[in-house]
Amino acid sequence: MSGKREEAQKVIDHLKELSVHEYVTPYNFAVIYAGLGDKDEAFVWLNRAYQERSYLLTYLTVDERLDNLHR
């Protein structure tokens, strides 16, 4: 959202590498993709969070970082 797409992509890449060795919640990926305006990819990751029954989904309606997905 701040226009730092390259930095956001580096964070995504880092999280993907990290997820090979330890758990990274799909919710984190969804937040980043939402910030990049990639709604389709954000919903892919939110669906994964749903499949895992992530407790973080309880924040969907109040997490301002996901506001652009509410429509």
pLDDT surpasses 80 at 50 = yes
**What's the whole-model pTM score?**
0.83
Q: Which amino acid is at 39?
A: K
Is the pLDDT at 21 greater than 90? The verdict is yes
Range 55-68 average pLDDT: 92
Mean pLDDT of 54-69: 92
Across the range 2-19, mean pLDDT stands at 85
2 pLDDT tier (thresholds 50, 70, 90): low
Taking the mean position of all CA atoms in its chain, how far away is CA 8?
Answer: 11
Instruction: Please report the pLDDT score of residue 1 as a whole number.
Output: 53
Residues 15, 29 contacting (CB under 8 angstroms): yes
The Cα 48–Cα 24 span in angstroms is 12
